[in-house]
Amino acid sequence: MLTAEEFKDYASGRRKGIGGLIMRGMMLAASKLYGVGVRMRNRQYDRGSKPIEEAGVPVVSIGNITLGGTGKTPTAAWLARWFRRQDVRVTLISRGYGAERGELNDEARELDDLLPDVPHLQNPDRVAAAKVAVEELAAQVLLLDDAFQHRRIARTLDVVLIDATEPFGYGYLFPRGMLREPLEGLARADVLALTRADAVSAEERQRIHNEARQNNNNAIWIEMIHRPAHLRNADGETLPLDQLQGKRVAAFCGIGNPAGFRHTISSCGANLVDLKPFPDHHIYKSADIAALEKWAAEQRIDYVLCTHKDLVKVGVNQLGQTPLAAIVIEADVTVGLPELEERLAKLVAEIPPDAF
């Protein structure tokens, strides 16, 4: 079983030699079969042979075309807060991937922490969750998390995120690359959102824009930065980011894009001496905590940092004698904000009058 980093080494072509060629050949063969299945499924929805169900209220889907982290949680929080400022009752709906039985998964716990006034329903049957949200919670707008490929619920707005640091999955479908579906699927998007836009040059942003536009020339194009907002400990106390200036820190994360977290730490002015990645959605057991405490003691550092998504699972303020804090990320729209808000305002105008 390959780790996430080993998989990326093969898929990106960084792993050289005959072993790398053989592995990529096997991955390519598997991706051809996967592609047949994906195209057949999309065709069934496009032709109406698979039903698409209406929720009865406007639905905004937040998703991506690649595997891994693209910044869906900060984007979902940004959208939820926007609707709440308009006094719209919004409910988040997700599948609950990686959750233990009877528990919320990491994204849900993080969003509950960030958005205490926004209900969050997790159910593998998202149609059933949507029915509960509308009929029992009186939701006026539904936000579907990680739902671009979940086509069973009709949506008013499809927001597709493209991570500037890993935009198109190395150009191949999984498992040869990281694409969930062919890039032609971008044609279904209403909004194309380049996330972590500040992590690459203006030339690279333009290159990504041009490639995306080859598959969709009509969607609203926005660019977002994921801005470190503050530090937070497990008790919910917030600390200013300037406490990290010039400090020696080590970090760990169980997310889809550790490189994005590395960039975030560097932007805070900290001296990162080590970053320990775990698999995405990793569930931290007592043995993991003990290993992290031993690792932290060996680093001679001022802080251990993690993502908010990791902190809600670890649930401690210190690793041994070293303070532990999460960097809380907030999204800002830096390009295309007027066009996006105009489209969201039209969506609010579509809410039935009797829903208020």
Binding residues for ATP: 66-73
What residue type is 273 in one-letter code? V
Distance CA 77, CA 222 (A): 16
**CA proximity to 62, closest of 94, 99, 106:** 94
SS3 71: coil
Q: Which tokens in the block code for residue 26?
A: 């096997």
* 110: its two tokens: 């993080």
Residue type, 126: R
213: left (phi over 0), alpha (psi -120 to 50) or beta: alpha
Residue 218 has φ and ψ, to the nearest 5°, of -110, -20
The residue length of the chain stands at 356
Q: Find, among 173, 184, 192, the residue nearest to 215 by Cα.
A: 184
Backbone angles phi, psi at 177, to 5 degrees: -135, -150
β-partners of residue 324 are: 304
Q: Which two tokens stand for residue 57?
A: 């209220």
> How many angstroms separate the CA atoms of 146 and 150, rounded?
8
Q: 226 and 197 in contact (C-beta within 8 Å)?
A: no
The DSSP bridge partners found for residue 160 are: 63, 192
Binding-site positions read: 66-73
